[in-house]
Structure formats: structure tokens, C-alpha cells
């Protein structure tokens, strides 16, 4: 049986063909036309740059490969049908067709809760707060008129409008687990992120409203399933009541873990039949592998993910929890860099922010601050040296403004650094420190041109990760935690919950982990950032 790291790596790697522009992964289709551009960083994986190229890929399902023939007059209908199949979400009844559906024990129109939750809450009238299973959320809301329009994502050369619907999240009228028979477990994996405690808190609170009494936390991620020295943490509303007032994770975090088989063995031994997994792409790949193994063993288990990545690089979603807080906290670092640079003679402030494969934090923090002169992200190519390089423009800023502030994403400029080929416990490539590199190159360059500069370098990464969630993320975490529980009780498994065009939806895990979401250099948001910084192309 493969290890969890192997499962994660195999789930998120994507074959890429530069000659045919064909992208296939997980039986997913990505039939999108884009204007071609050069990859910002040739050292990045194909997954991180796949959206950078013009591509019209085949629509491929896990069990069959079906190419969309755009000359077929019925191609839209076929595409919509294939899309619906891909975004259908796994359900308990797929494996247990005779699974009993009972009246939901979740009802907010009540006089008082009862001990016997099977009959539901007493109510004077029927409650109309449930979501119908046929409710859908529209995935794409902009109808582009031309592939050359900023940020355009088109299926054909005419940018034909095709409706793409996904499942709306929320409580269902019928549930497939009896609360008194549920043992629910929560794990937090990967690195720290603002909002972890908020999500844990509302998963527990919502489980208790359904009537679940047996709730545990698995300490230190997937590792907690195999390490005999780590014991389950009993959770209740009393335990989690105030944990959202501090950062970090009540349960602790870690990367990697035992094999999928060992994890499922441990779940079976412990009697866990609901698993809530908080983590990013790699963690979700692991959750999907656990879901598949449970199905293979015919275990009635609901595995539900809550996407946690401070980088905001999960596909399809407006944002992931922790991102807003990260952008807000980054303002402190940028402002400090600005004050240092502005107060010094020929001062230069450099701030490195998070963003392995995507520059969302650096872009939005730069846009929000209004104090950044140069923003460098992984998706946009640049040169440091040369007549059009970053340092040449930096010299111009020093000569005209007297100071400058640079904001870089951690994954930027990796093609300019020596590759280590080392990987962390999650299978992620360990990046070179581009922030330190550009600091050193800046000092060296200005020494060569005999211009005195005062360079200050700030890396607030761990300060940002450890803070508590702000109000915006607090609301997002609350709703994500609640909807994760609703999805599990509704009988769904192998799903994740996210916010799509301001609405909450369930998506099958493979669809959101195909490759990391990245900044589109032709998007309006990146154009807004360039307008704010005033920087040229560094090519």
C-alpha cells in the first residue's frame, strides 16, 4: 500500500504536453482557450503553469475518454452532460444503495432540543431551512465576448456561453447517519493558517446540534493515526468555546503521515465514521485516497475536506480561509518596509510573502497597501539584471523617488536560483530563498554602480500564519465548518466545501486538486496591481 506522501504526489501531478497543449488529470476536463504566454518560471511543475498556455483539452472522465468535437452542433449539450458527470459528488448510496435515510435532526425552528434526536426537534410547523438536493450554484458568471478580453476563459473561439452548475451546500431534510451512532474525528494538516480553530469550533458545535456526542480531534494531522504516543482529544462545545480567540490549531499540525491503509485501519479500529480534514491540495489528495479506500472496504464513512491554504491556490473557489487575514497582516510588514525605506537615504524595503506556486497574497497585499513599487510573483516572468531588469528599474526609482518597496512571493524567481531537489514531508519541493537572493543582488548591483543604498529585508511568514482569523475569515470559517457537517450527514463523502461566486457549494475533491490555482497575468486584478505599482515588464 502506498504511503500517504505517495498518494498525495500521484494525485496532484499532471502530465503536460507542450506540443499538443493537452492537459489531462484525474479524468478532468479543462477545455479552455487562453492567449499564450511564456511561463514565469520554467522550474515550476507543469501543473502550476498549465493555465498559462492556449489549450483546448479533451474532456476526459475517470472511466472513459470523450473528446468534444466543436464542429458537432450538439457539443454544448454534450459538454454540459460531461461537466455534470465530473462534478457529481460521491454519496453513501453509491456503495450502500439500501442505506436508510431518516428525518434530519438539524432544525433551528424549535422550542427546545430533546435527548432522542432520531425523531427530530419538536416544531409547530415544517421548517423551510433545508437545501434541496437539486439546488445548484453557477460556477462561471461572466459571459466573455472574445478570447482577447481580459481574463477570458473560453471553451471555443467564439466564447460561447455554457452553463456549468455545481451542488449547493447546506443542510438536507434527510440524513444518512444516526447521530447517536456517529463518531466524528477532525484533523488539521500541513502548515498553520489563520482560522483553523474557527473551523474546528464550528464543526464541533454543528455536530452537537445534530446530536452527536462522540467527537474527537486527531492530534498532529495524519501522523496522529499511527503514533501510539498521540491520543485522541475529546471535543465538545465546552472545550472549543473560545479557541477561535487565538491562532494556531488546537489539534496541532504536521506534514506527511502513515500509509492510507494504516490510516483506514486506525479509523476502523477506533470506530470513526465521519472524518473532517482541514488542509490544502496535498491534504485533500490524502483525504480522497482515504475516501476511496473506505469505499473499497465498503465502510460507511463520510470523508469531508475543508480547504485550508493561505496561498489561496485551490481551484474554482473565490478564496480559502486564512487568505484575507494573510493579506491584512501583510500590510504591517509592507508598511514597516515603507517606513524604513522612506526614512533612510536611498532606502529600499524588500518584503517576502507566502505563495509557492501562486502570487495571490503578494498581488493583493501590494494592491491594498498602495506603498509597493515592484511586485514579483511566480506566474509572471522577469529578469533581475539587464536593460529591462528589476534592478535597472529600482535604480530609476532611487534616482527619482529616493526610496522603493519591493514585494515578492516566495515562489517567484525560482528559475534564477540553484535547484536543491529536496522535498518536505508532504512531497513539496523545498524552494530557494528568493527574498534573500534579491536582497543580495540589490546590494551588489548598487555597489557596482556606486550608489549608496540602505536595504532592509522583512520576512513575516511565520508571524502571519500564527495570528487569529480576522472578521472576514471568521465568517468564512464558520460557514465552511457548518457546511462540512451538513455534507457529511447528507451522506456525501470525498467532497470539499468552498465559496463559489459568493455562494457555498460542494465539489468532488479530484476537481479541486488537479493543479494549483494561479494568478492570470491577463486578469483584471493583476492589471490593477500593475496600475498601482507603476512597474514595467521586466523582460
Q: Is 111 flagged in the annotation as binding?
A: no
- Residue pair 371/333 in contact (Cβ under 8 Å)? The answer is no
Query: Residue 102 to residues 99, 178, 270: CA-CA distances in angstroms?
Result: 10, 8, 25
Q: Is 191 flagged in the annotation as binding?
A: yes
**Residue pointed to by grid coordinates 476537481:** 511
Strand ranges (E), 292-402 = 302-307, 347-353, 374-376
Span between the terminal Cα atoms of the chain, in Å: 47
Q: Is 280 flagged in the annotation as binding?
A: yes
- Residue pair 422/429 in contact (Cβ under 8 Å)? The answer is yes
Q: Is 282 flagged in the annotation as binding?
A: yes
Q: Is 356 flagged in the annotation as binding?
A: yes
Provide the 10 A C-beta neighbour count for residue 134: 8
Q: Over 27-54, what HEC string results?
A: CECCCCECCCCCCCCCCCCHHHHHHHCC
d(CA 318, CA 502): 7
- Residue pair 519/525 in contact (Cβ under 8 Å)? The answer is yes
Q: Is 281 flagged in the annotation as binding?
A: yes
Query: Residue 225 to residues 258, 385, 405: CA-CA distances in angstroms?
Result: 8, 50, 46
Using alpha carbons only, give the angle 214, 220, 222 rounded to the nearest 5 degrees: 80
d(CA 117, CA 106): 9
Cα radius of gyration (the chain): 24
- Residue pair 494/89 in contact (Cβ under 8 Å)? The answer is yes
Active site residue 198: no
C-alpha cell at 351: 518584503
Q: Is 288 flagged in the annotation as binding?
A: no
Would you call 102 exposed, middle or buried from its count of C-beta atoms within 10 A (0-12, 13-18, 19+)? Answer: middle
Q: What is the DSSP letter of 449?
A: T
d(CA 10, CA 17): 18
Q: What is the largest CA-CA distance in the chain?
A: 82
- Residue pair 275/303 in contact (Cβ under 8 Å)? The answer is yes
Q: Is 311 flagged in the annotation as binding?
A: yes
d(CA 22, CA 33): 11
Would you call 66 exposed, middle or buried from its count of C-beta atoms within 10 A (0-12, 13-18, 19+)? Answer: middle
Q: Is 388 flagged in the annotation as binding?
A: no
Tell me which of 311, 373, 473, 520 is the catalytic residue: 311
Among residues 206, 265, 293, the alpha carbon closest in space to that of 494 is found at 293
Q: Is 459 flagged in the annotation as binding?
A: no
Q: Is 410 flagged in the annotation as binding?
A: yes
Q: Is 255 flagged in the annotation as binding?
A: yes
Q: Is 465 flagged in the annotation as binding?
A: yes
Q: Is 531 flagged in the annotation as binding?
A: no
Q: Is 242 flagged in the annotation as binding?
A: no
Please report, in range form, the residues annotated as the binding site for ATP.
191, 255-256, 280-283
- Residues identified as active-site: 311
Please report, in range form, the residues annotated as the binding site.
191, 255-256, 280-283, 309-311, 354-356, 410, 462-465
Please report, in range form, the residues annotated as the binding site for Mg(2+).
281
Please report, in range form, the residues annotated as the binding site for substrate.
309-311, 354-356, 410, 462-465
Amino acid at each position: 500500500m502506498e504511503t500517504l506522501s505517495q498518494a498525495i504526489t500521484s494525485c496532484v501531478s499532471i502530465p503536460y504536453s507542450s506540443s499538443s497543449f493537452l492537459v489531462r488529470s484525474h479524468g478532468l476536463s479543462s477545455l479552455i482557450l487562453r492567449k499564450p504566454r511564456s511561463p514565469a518560471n520554467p522550474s515550476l511543475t507543469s501543473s502550476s503553469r498549465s493555465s498559462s498556455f492556449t489549450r483546448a483539452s479533451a474532456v476526459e472522465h475517470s472511466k472513459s475518454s470523450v473528446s468534444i468535437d466543436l464542429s458537432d452542433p450538439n457539443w454544448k449539450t454534450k459538454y454540459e452532460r460531461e461537466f455534470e458527470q465530473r462534478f457529481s459528488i460521491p454519496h453513501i448510496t453509491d456503495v450502500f444503495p439500501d442505506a436508510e435515510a431518516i428525518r434530519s435532526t438539524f432544525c433551528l425552528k424549535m422550542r427546545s432540543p430533546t435527548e432522542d434526536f432520531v425523531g427530530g426537534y419538536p416544531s409547530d410547523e415544517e421548517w423551510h431551512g433545508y437545501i434541496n438536493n437539486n439546488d445548484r450554484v453557477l460556477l462561471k458568471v461572466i459571459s466573455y465576448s472574445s478570447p482577447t478580453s481580459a481574463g477570458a476563459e473560453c471553451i471555443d473561439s467564439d466564447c460561447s456561453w455554457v452553463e456549468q452548475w455545481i451542488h449547493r451546500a447546506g443542510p438536507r431534510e434527510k440524513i444518512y447517519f444516526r447521530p447517536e451512532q456517529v463518531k466524528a474525528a477532525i484533523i488539521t494538516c500541513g502548515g498553520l493558517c489563520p482560522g483553523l480553530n474557527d473551523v474546528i469550533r464550528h464543526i464541533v458545535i454543528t455536530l452537537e446540534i445534530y446530536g452527536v456526542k462522540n467527537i474527537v480531534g486527531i492530534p498532529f494531522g495524519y501522523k496522529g493515526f499511527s503514533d501510539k504516543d498521540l491520543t485522541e482529544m475529546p471535543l465538545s462545545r465546552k472545550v472549543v468555546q473560545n479557541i477561535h480567540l487565538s491562532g494556531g490549531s488546537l489539534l496541532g499540525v504536521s506534514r506527511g503521515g502513515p500509509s492510507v491503509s494504516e490510516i483506514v485501519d486506525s479509523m476502523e479500529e477506533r470506530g470513526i465514521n465521519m472524518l473532517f480534514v482541514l488542509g490544502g491540495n496535498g491534504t485533500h489528495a490524502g483525504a480522497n485516497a482515504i475516501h476511496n479506500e473506505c469505499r473499497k472496504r465498503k465502510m460507511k464513512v463520510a470523508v469531508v475536506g475543508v480547504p485550508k491554504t493561505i496561498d489561496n491556490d485551490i481551484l474554482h473557489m473565490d478564496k480559502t480561509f486564512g487568505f484575507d487575514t494573510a493579506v491584512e497582516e501583510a500590510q504591517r510588514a509592507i508598511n514597516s518596509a515603507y517606513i524604513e525605506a522612506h526614512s533612510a537615504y536611498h532606502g529600499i524595503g524588500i518584503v517576502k510573502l507566502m505563495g509557492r506556486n501562486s502570487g495571490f497574497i503578494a498581488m493583493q497585499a501590494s494592491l491594498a497597501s498602495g506603498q509597493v513599487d515592484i511586485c514579483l510573483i511566480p506566474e509572471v516572468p522577469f529578469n533581475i539584471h539587464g536593460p529591462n531588469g528589476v534592478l535597472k528599474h529600482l535604480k530609476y526609482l532611487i534616482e527619482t523617488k529616493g526610496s522603493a518597496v519591493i514585494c515578492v512571493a516566495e515562489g517567484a524567481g525560482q528559475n534564477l536560483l540553484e535547484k536543491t531537489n529536496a522535498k518536505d514531508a508532504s512531497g513539496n519541493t523545498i524552494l530557494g530563498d528568493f527574498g534573500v537572493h534579491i536582497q543580495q543582488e540589490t546590494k551588489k548591483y548598487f555597489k557596482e554602480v556606486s550608489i549608496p543604498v540602505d536595504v532592509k529585508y522583512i520576512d513575516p511568514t511565520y508571524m502571519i500564519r500564527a495570528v487569529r482569523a480576522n472578521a472576514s475569515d471568521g465568517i468564512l470559517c464558520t460557514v465552511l465548518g457548518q457546511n462540512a457537517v451538513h455534507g457529511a450527514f447528507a451522506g456525501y463523502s470525498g467532497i470539499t466545501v468552498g465559496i463559489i461566486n459568493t455562494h457555498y457549494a460542494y465539489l468532488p475533491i479530484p476537481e479541486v486538486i488537479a493543479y494549483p490555482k494561479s494568478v492570470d497575468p491577463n486578469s483584471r486584478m493583476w492589471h490593477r496591481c500593475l496600475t498601482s505599482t507603476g512597474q514595467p515588464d521586466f523582460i
